[in-house]
Structure 1
Amino acid sequence: MTAGQDCAFAGVDEEQVRALVGGLHRDPFSILGQHPTAHGSIIRVFMPGAETVELLARDTGTPLTRLERVHAEGLFVGVLSHQAAYRLRIAWPEAVQETEDPYSFGMLLGELDLHLIGQGTHYELSHVLGAQATLVDGVPGVRFAVWAPNARRVSVVGDFNSWDGRRNPMRLHPGAGVWELFIPRLGPGDRYKYEIIGPHGQLLPQKADPVARASEAAPGSASIVARPEPFRWTDSEWMSARAARQSESAPISVYEVHAGSWLHLPEEGNRSLDWTELADRLIPYVSGLGFTHIELMPIMEYPFGGSWGYQPLGLFAPTGRYGTPEDFAGFVNRCHEAGLGVILDWVPAHFPTDVFGLAQFDGTALYEHQDPQEGFHQDWNTLIYNLGRNEVKGFLIASALDWLERYHVDALRVDAVASMLYRDYSRKASEWIPNRHGGRENLEAIEFFKHLNSIIAHRCKGAITIAEESTAWPGVTKPPEEGGLGFTFKWNMGWMHDTLHYMEQDPVYRSYNHGAFTFGMVYAFTERFVLPLSHDEVVHGKGSLIRKMPGDEWQRFANLRAYFGYLWAHPGKKLLFMGGEIAQDLEWNHDASLSWNLLDNPQHSGIQRLVRDLNRIYATEPALHATDNDPDAFAWAVVDDSANSVFAMLRTSRDGRSIILAVSNMTPVPRMNYRIGVPKAGLWHELLNTNAHIYGGSNIGNGSSLQTEEISAHGRPTSLALTLPPLSTLLLRWS
């Protein structure tokens, strides 16, 4: 039988068959599957490598007919007298397989879903696109769907079809640019990718699924079909109360963690912990230190470990490095049961150029801008999302909601916000394109943030967002309806840089930099701030916190203790990167564990105990957290004593019944009878002294309490005569 005769028997012309067997046919459903004719129902299947194919009745397994091979590449054809539900018995060289025909099922995605995807308002995108383990007509399998509007052909490939793109080409919904296919008898755990032919006929590298909910851990890059069953949560008590726990008046103290380097197991080849082990060890540790939240550096699937997750490609998938999506959900659940909130770093600013990822996804600049002046980050060699495209904006918002709703995450810390807000971010004058008004503001990013924060506030009760925004952009934490971006909090990067610069100075020179320590109060109430001592400050040659401190060993530890005291007393929520609480000596290395052996040294364990006590006092004293955004509840007691490098703050509770005086002496010289004016007469109790012996200090202090004297100072009629230990911070309370 000639090829022409074969094609005539198949009921399709030779050109279409050539396109099909060559993996180029744009509409496989027009050929494959069951098609009624005047002479019965013709059934075509394309099974490259199969020896024989037989039709069986789907419900009983009764043989119906044997299909005839009509093309050497594996096109089989048969005719039934009437339409029937069937399955296939396929004889491969080394096995026999029975399964339903993917091309016997109709359209699965609804018009509303497709419309919302195109509008960028499908907020449950991971329930529609990606790989959905489901039942269709009572048949178990996986429905695949992917947005690739400019592709000529998209196929699902995986272990189940020998990664052969000819075997499972998908059906296109033309108006939406979405391709779909239901493949029977697949299920959770199956690996897959998409094989795409671009608009000019080019075969692209096989692509991971942008909306996959599970992925292989690097160096693997395949997507994995996730389990469809919802996680069994037991955190209802936490969820119902979290709005109050995360309000602007709540004590929020965050422990920032890189999950892969917090602790390694030397007895098991120095491997990092998985989610279950982190739940067993990290949660009680953080809770025991009095932190209120754990912030995880990005755990969305990412290819390069050295990016620490800040160059993610799987925006819906917890990285496979530490376990399954269910394991991650279990970790969050355990955090909530222990009274800890979970913050995830989330990166909508850019994505890496790995060929299996989003770059040129369908052969065009689909997720990124076409013009590199808009679409390429020179600093990070990454691509910038095109927020002017509805589908891309909707993709990112759906990702954010998925972490908050599916995994009960409490907050997203949005990375690199400044790079998104300015079109000229880190670019020379000739390297950027102005907005439609000729300005440098990224209007699409502004609208995106307003929309993102509005929809999170509407859908996710009690969840919050935090901006890493390093400029003076106005209204980052103002509501969108008032012209702001709508974030709940903003990292105070300026405070971090200014105060660390001050602390790095030898005390001899600090008097000349006095303003760096106080400048943050000039703008402290313009936004709702988090004061971060983050991972960014202990990498790339910057040294650990303890190594930034000047002087001999005693002075370095005293400096760090005094600085921590100042941080916890200053208006703003708190964040400390892991290792800071034990005065980690070495600069952070993402491939190594923290140096837990340091706790055998009393100086290091003293820092840890200080952090625990600071968190305890911070949480129990409303004056230190409930009025963070009330300028009337703050006053400088001493602000201009640059000669002695002394600072003193007054923090007042909302009801005025409690006042905290925080005094920092940033020189190694003790100050005796240092008089400070205070607003209330009576006893002032010393709550904490960073120079106490239990923290590693010399135990110079004021005892348990001091009585005011009717001696005016600093414009106040009553005052305290204090002993200020060297390189220390004191916390005293009047009530």
Structure 2
Amino acid sequence: MAGRNMTTEAAGDTASNAAELAPEAIAAVAHASHGDPFGILGPHQVGPDLWEVRAMLPRALRVWVVGLDGDTELAAMQRRHPAGFFVGRFQSGGRPGYRLRIETADSTAVVYDPYSFLNVLSDDDLAHIADPGGDTIYRSLGAHPRKLGEVDGFAVAVWAPNASRVSLVGDFNGWDGRCHPMRLRHGAGIWELFLPEIAPGGRYKFEIRAANGGLLPLKADPVAFQAEQPPATASILHGQPAQTWSDADWMTKRGEGDPRFKPISIYECHLGSWARIPEEGDRFLTYREMADRLVPYVRDMGFTHIELLPITEFPFDGSWGYQPVSLYAPTSRFGTPEDFAFFVNAAHEAGLGIMLDWVPAHFPNDPHGLGGFDGTHLYEHADPRQGFHQDWGTYIYNFGRAEVQSFLVANARFWLERYHLDGLRVDAVASMLYLDYSRKAGEWVPNRYGGNENLEAIDFLRRMNETAYSVAPGAMTIAEESTAWPGVSHPTYTGGLGFGFKWNMGWMHDTLRYMSKEPIHRRYHHHDLTFGLLYAFTENFVLPLSHDEVVHGKGSLLGKMTGDRWQRFANLRAYFGFMWGHPGKKLLFMGGEFAQEREWNHDLSLDWHLLSDPLHRGVQALVRDLNRAYRQIPALHELDSDAAGFAWLVADDRDNSVLAFARYGKDREKPAVVVCNFTPVPRAGYRIGVPAGGFWREVVNTDADMYGGSGLGNLGGIEAVEQESHGQPFSVVLTCPPLATIVLERVAT
């Protein structure tokens, strides 16, 4: 059987002159403790034109070596060990091609011998395993359908450099580690094996012996492309997704222009609880059902992107995906890898981007996962002061190890390239940047300069961002970073981390704190609304109202609002109007768009029945119209990240809790004005300076009847007069509705 790039590591297949194997070697194979199975098993030349085939077949009663035709008998194999070690000798003028006829208690089958094949991975593959930024990890490791010679099967490879033996176990061998021990490619620490004639869909894991000979819990494949649905934990023989993409127009258009100048309004979604099927045991929707239901809904609501809470396979539902085990496998809770690709493709055809919450900050300690993978701290730091998150009970990746960094950077690339994703929102970046994150004195290890910066994590994040932007034009990376770390969304060549955007956590905390105050007290907290503009353009910000704000006893967004029922809805509508008018891209967690009343529960569907209530339906209509205005009015999005796109008009009217500001796009002749009244008192005759004359159309009024408001407003717009006010040459006299935001757009004359 012809193989690839035979090296000295495969020499044992062809050049052993030992007439008889030592009993100790046979016993080691029989007990699955031999570290060099290819040095024992398979074809070996034992004399001039004399070959010996050896096989470990625990369930076999009798075995024959036969020709490739399956009929020609070359040798009847002799049992050399009661556990099922067989040996057969025959004459051959060169390295023989052969198969094995195996008789068991149940059947007789003719099969290819995995140990008759040469190396699976090339020397070039091995040389690039530790290169961050490349795609060697997911091209070479994991399980891939492959043809060696004329034989179809699966090539499987795993990194476990400190193991003394690795076996592939699964449905195909009764989960018996004696059957398929793997070949070690010395130097790279990669174990490999070709499984001939194995069909996709079978379950598998790795049985690993540590360096001390101890047997570890069975390990899932770190580069598995599909996994069992939890609570089952096996990997599935699948290979990379086989999707016929029809999103070329989307991908081309995505790569045009700078995302900073585009409208980006993100619908954050937990797929397991967006909607369920109560008639069928409250089951999840499938990826394909989401393509039919979620995608049209989000498009109708006017959002530009769907951001998925993590869908890389994770064992515990209650982690919401933030404790992943199989980073290369979309969770099987909702279908196959092809089903997920179908969902992404459907979103693109509908004009929607798909972003993924991506979790390189930590991983869980489940026994089948990455922790202690080969009996050593392979993926994590050995020192718990560096390798263990006390807050979450999870491990921290060793970002300074080249193979680990390569594994993670390649994973980011994998989702962007192979699943056409449009962005990665990186979770818990602050925990990666600081060595003393959530640690007391003495619980952390300083860097080589004595500081608290995690230099290896910084290097990793920069490499990840550089790779993402080089391989996926138009895609975005977004950091959830909660500190004042400088330059998070600045290019790496200027010393930044290289993210495209950063969540504005300060804006979120300040403004929600303000909205939780009774209107009569808001005059004392006016700075909570204005302070964010002091730093609003230091980063490329996303304004997040995420899942984190509606869990763990925090209540819903509606629940944070004060007053009676009407006022709570009015407050929420006014707040949304302020958010959509404020500089920064937008993110809203599902349910917020129709004012979900209860706190989010990952085990339950959203309360869609609330849409029978006019007030909930009104909030939904408002969010739809805000998204439309945000997309259609360049002044509201083009300069979200540029100070030239913003000017205060009224920033100091704390006594009336009114503020107003102008927004500009690249064409400064087409500004927009946003006016907020955060008290239940209507403000009639309120003069506000505006940057230009002409007619100012009232694009959005959150107090409109159709949203559930009182219907107070400015009759569709107002003419500006040439009277200076608030430092502007023109002004308008407005009616500011109670607990409301209005958005005005200058209509060119």
Instruction: Identify the TM-score tier after normalising by the shorter chain.
Output: over 0.9
Could you tell me which amino acid in structure 1 is paired with residue 320 of structure 2?
W
Root-mean-square deviation over aligned CA pairs: 1.3
**Equivalent in the alignment of 1:78:** 88
Q: Distance in 1 between matches of 2:661 and 2:399?
A: 44
**Equivalent in the alignment of 2:653:** 641
Q: Distance in 2 between matches of 1:461 and 1:660?
A: 31
Q: Which runs of 5+ in 1 are unaligned?
A: 1-7
Q: SS in structure 2 opposite 1:716?
A: coil
Match of 2:251 among 233, 239, 258: 239
Q: After the TM superposition, which residues 316-715 of structure 1 pair with which residues of structure 2 at under 5 Å, given as runs?
A: 316-715=328-727
Q: Distance in 2 between matches of 1:89 and 1:496?
A: 68
Q: Which runs of 5+ in 2 are unaligned?
A: 1-16
Q: Distance in 1 between matches of 2:597 and 2:709?
A: 18
Could you tell me which amino acid in structure 1 is paired with residue 228 of structure 2?
E
Deviation, 1:105, is 0.6
**In 2 relative to 1, CA 29–722 (structure 1 residues): closer, same or farther, beyond 3 Å?**
same
Q: Distance in 1 between matches of 2:40 and 2:690?
A: 87
Is residue 15 of structure 1 aligned with residue 32 of structure 2? no
Is residue 67 of structure 1 aligned with residue 70 of structure 2? no
**Equivalent in the alignment of 1:24:** 33
Could you tell me which amino acid in structure 2 is paired with residue 44 of structure 1?
R
Q: Distance in 2 between matches of 1:170 and 1:717?
A: 79
Could you tell me which amino acid in structure 2 is paired with residue 496 of structure 1?
M
Q: Distance in 2 between matches of 1:574 and 1:183?
A: 49
Q: Is the contact between residue 27 and residue 81 of structure 2 (CA under 8 Å) also seen in structure 1?
A: no
Deviation, 1:68, is 1.1
Deviations 1:389-447 (A, max 9, x none): 00000000111111000000010111111110010111111110000000011111111
Deviation, 1:245, is 7.0
**Equivalent in the alignment of 1:57:** 67
Q: Is the contact between residue 699 and residue 744 of structure 2 (CA under 8 Å) also seen in structure 1?
A: yes
Is residue 36 of structure 1 aligned with residue 48 of structure 2? no
Q: Distance in 1 between matches of 2:18 and 2:472?
A: 58
Q: Is the contact between residue 645 and residue 665 of structure 1 (CA under 8 Å) also seen in structure 2?
A: yes
Is residue 103 of structure 1 aligned with residue 115 of structure 2? yes
Q: Is the contact between residue 594 and residue 616 of structure 2 (CA under 8 Å) also seen in structure 1?
A: yes
Q: Distance in 1 between matches of 2:702 and 2:34?
A: 73
Is residue 213 of structure 1 aligned with residue 225 of structure 2? yes
Deviations 1:110-140 (A, max 9, x none): 1111111134454231110011111111111
Q: Distance in 2 between matches of 1:371 and 1:229?
A: 37
Deviation, 1:534, is 0.3
Deviations 1:298-352 (A, max 9, x none): 0000010100000001110001100000000000000000000000010001000
Q: Distance in 1 between matches of 2:415 and 2:130?
A: 22
Q: Distance in 1 between matches of 2:517 and 2:257?
A: 37
Deviations 1:253-282 (A, max 9, x none): 000000010001111111110000000000
Q: Is the contact between residue 241 and residue 338 of structure 2 (CA under 8 Å) also seen in structure 1?
A: no
Q: SS in structure 2 opposite 1:399?
A: helix
Q: Number of aligned residue pairs: give it.
A: 728
Q: SS in structure 1 opposite 2:514?
A: helix
Q: Distance in 2 between matches of 1:648 and 1:331?
A: 41
Could you tell me which amino acid in structure 1 is paired with residue 177 of structure 2?
G
TM-score (norm 2): 0.96
Is residue 48 of structure 1 aligned with residue 48 of structure 2? no
Q: Is the contact between residue 245 and residue 251 of structure 1 (CA under 8 Å) also seen in structure 2?
A: no
Could you tell me which amino acid in structure 2 is paired with residue 240 of structure 1?
T
Deviation, 1:10, is 7.7
Q: Distance in 1 between matches of 2:388 and 2:240?
A: 36
Q: Distance in 2 between matches of 1:693 and 1:611?
A: 15
Q: Distance in 2 between matches of 1:596 and 1:245?
A: 37
Deviation, 1:456, is 1.6
Deviation, 1:97, is 2.3
Q: Distance in 1 between matches of 2:501 and 2:581?
A: 18
Q: Distance in 2 between matches of 1:229 and 1:213?
A: 8
Deviation, 1:228, is 5.2
Deviations 1:524-567 (A, max 9, x none): 11011111100000000000000110110000000000000000
Q: Distance in 1 between matches of 2:204 and 2:275?
A: 32
Among the aligned pairs, what percent are the same residue?
57
Q: After the TM superposition, which residues 187-202 of structure 1 pair with which residues of structure 2 at under 5 Å, given as runs?
A: 187-202=199-214
Q: Distance in 1 between matches of 2:241 and 2:131?
A: 28
Q: Distance in 2 between matches of 1:225 and 1:657?
A: 59
Q: SS in structure 1 opposite 2:710?
A: coil
Q: After the TM superposition, which residues 140-219 of structure 1 pair with which residues of structure 2 at under 5 Å, given as runs?
A: 140-219=152-231
For structure 1, which segment, 367-376 or 41-50, has the greater mean C-alpha deviation from structure 2 after superposition? 41-50
For structure 1, which segment, 381-390 or 447-456, has the greater mean C-alpha deviation from structure 2 after superposition? 447-456
Q: Is the contact between residue 124 and residue 402 of structure 1 (CA under 8 Å) also seen in structure 2?
A: no
Could you tell me which amino acid in structure 2 is paired with residue 697 of structure 1?
G
Is residue 308 of structure 1 aligned with residue 317 of structure 2? no
**In 2 relative to 1, CA 229–615 (structure 1 residues): closer, same or farther, beyond 3 Å?**
closer
Q: Distance in 2 between matches of 1:636 and 1:9?
A: 88
Deviation, 1:706, is 1.0
Q: SS in structure 1 opposite 2:272?
A: coil
Q: Is the contact between residue 689 and residue 730 of structure 2 (CA under 8 Å) also seen in structure 1?
A: yes
Deviations 1:178-228 (A, max 9, x none): 000111111211110000000111100000000001000100100001145
Q: SS in structure 2 opposite 1:350?
A: coil
**Equivalent in the alignment of 1:299:** 311
Q: Is the contact between residue 215 and residue 301 of structure 1 (CA under 8 Å) also seen in structure 2?
A: yes
Deviations 1:684-705 (A, max 9, x none): 1111100000000000111112
Deviations 1:141-161 (A, max 9, x none): 111100000000000000111
Q: Distance in 2 between matches of 1:596 and 1:230?
A: 35
Q: Is the contact between residue 229 and residue 331 of structure 2 (CA under 8 Å) also seen in structure 1?
A: yes
Deviation, 1:166, is 1.1
Q: Distance in 1 between matches of 2:241 and 2:223?
A: 17
**Equivalent in the alignment of 1:92:** 104
**Equivalent in the alignment of 1:136:** 148
Q: Is the contact between residue 487 and residue 495 of structure 2 (CA under 8 Å) also seen in structure 1?
A: yes
Match of 1:126 among 138, 143, 158: 138
Deviations 1:226-250 (A, max 9, x none): 1457311000000000023761100
**Equivalent in the alignment of 2:13:** none
Deviation, 1:61, is 3.2
Deviation, 1:680, is 1.3
Could you tell me which amino acid in structure 2 is paired with residue 546 of structure 1?
L
Q: Distance in 2 between matches of 1:304 and 1:130?
A: 23
Q: SS in structure 2 opposite 1:260?
A: helix
Q: Distance in 2 between matches of 1:119 and 1:289?
A: 42
Q: Is the contact between residue 114 and residue 193 of structure 2 (CA under 8 Å) also seen in structure 1?
A: yes
